Amino acid sequence: MLDAAPSHVERLDDGTEVKLGVFLSNTKSRRPKLSADKLQVLADLGLEWAVAWHRATVDLTMAGFGPPPFTATR
């Protein structure tokens, strides 16, 4: 499972700092707007909330409905 506190920062070999925690927090809060393809990539990376959201989106889309409404889960 991939998870990080919003304050978590990764430092790459070249010295670049990546605010992974902020990225994950922002991405999770924007999940209703993410495409099924993006959700699949995030699910493949181990983001459990993306797995569940992707399944729900695909199931509802195949049934003729749009993506599910946003629900705050952690």
User: How large is the average pLDDT for residues 54-69?
Assistant: 66
Helix locations, 12-47, DSSP H: 20-29, 36-44
Model confidence over 21-56: pLDDT tens digits?
A: 999 999 988 988 888 888 888 888 888 888 777 777
pLDDT at 60 over 70: no
Choice between 9 and 48, residue whose per-residue pLDDT is larger: 9
Determine the Cα–Cα distance for residues 67 and 10; give it in Å rounded to an integer: 32
Is it the case that residue 64 has pLDDT exceeding 70? no
Tell me the chain's radius of gyration from C-alpha atoms.
14
